[in-house]
Amino acid sequence: MSALTPDQLEAPVSWPLKFTLNDWDNRASVRTSQHDYQLPDDLQQQLQTRHWFPPAFLPYLAHPAVQAAGLDVTHRLAANHLVHFLDYTTLLEHRIVNRAVEIIVHGELPAFVPSRMKNAALQLYTDEGYHALFSNRLAEQIASLHGIAERPVMPLRITRLNAVIARTPESNRPLAWFLLGFVSETIIARELLEVCRDSLVSSVNDMLRDHLADEARHSRYFSEVFHYLWLTLNSRQRSFAAKILLEVIRIFFEVDERWLQQSLRGAGIADSAIREILDGLVNAHAGRQRAKTGAMATLDALEKAGFFALPNNQKLFAKAGLIDG
């Protein structure tokens, strides 16, 4: 399939993909949010009925050893997880997503970048910087409250994503960076939607909802850019992209085993219970299920772009258990 011409891309009527963030000036949290993301004065009262982080995302809290340890330990483990998530978010936004955005802005993609795509990328870059700011601001408060030291711990996911780039040939690195951003932004929107369904501490809820509102637009934007880019790639680039996409999706659903072990041990959970918890989370079947469910938006974007119209891609992802054969 031949790539579209610059004239076609600059004509919004003839090209259905918008490459915009939909009224960013009046909708982006960095422009409109009135929240200060400060912990509430009635925090202890809120924690009687609300959570630091949704229990559904922390299945290990239901383990008998954790339950027996009492509510204070449960709150501490949830706070640990939230701080780790916020520190991870700060690193992800700066070092992964915004690097992917730079690829678009500065013409490093192996395709023509229309002006509206570049403008939206610059807006998205600004959003991600703000997300890093409010994530770090909230993490600092919670870490201080609970005495969580030696942070931020480098998340396994960031290390693994950087390793993907490090072993990618220079000629393919811009494409690889973009694909990391595409997977990240299409996954996080769904994650945040699920997180926001629960009853959380008010400032955490405010932060996550502001983040979600932005990420819903980011997910659509990255999906549209991927759609366009996929049409322009040659067969060699498409083969490379398929392998990278599969690897990166898997990485996003790996359990940070070392960090979780340290969190549980620091809360006084016995090593035997920790081993039981980890065994239930790190097995291959559990990983496939997390990826298949959590990457639904990513897989849908691939489908719409025609990615699975290629039999090899369909076989590759079916074998990995991400789509039905």
Give the pLDDT confidence score for residue 16 in this predicted structure.
57
Give the pLDDT confidence score for residue 285 in this predicted structure.
92
Domains of the chain: 71-319 (1.10.620.20)
**For the residues of 147-210, what is the DSSP string, one character each?**
T--S-----HHHHHHHHHHHTS-GGGHHHHHHHHHHHHHHHHHHHHHHHTTS-B-HHHHHHHHH
Give the pLDDT confidence score for residue 11 in this predicted structure.
35
pLDDT in single tens digits along all 325 residues of the chain: 334 444 433 333 334 568 999 899 999 999 999 999 999 999 999 999 999 998 888 999 999 999 999 999 999 999 999 999 999 999 999 999 999 999 999 999 999 999 999 999 999 999 999 999 999 999 999 999 999 988 888 999 999 999 999 999 999 999 999 999 999 999 987 777 777 777 899 999 999 999 988 999 999 999 999 999 999 999 999 999 999 999 999 999 999 999 999 999 999 999 999 999 999 999 899 999 999 999 999 999 999 999 999 999 999 999 999 999 7
Give the pLDDT confidence score for residue 7 in this predicted structure.
42
Burial of 285 (0-12, 13-18, 19+ CB in 10 A): exposed
CA–CA distance, 134 with 214 (Å, rounded to integer): 13
Asked if residues 20 and 115 have their Cβ atoms less than 8 Å apart, the reply is no
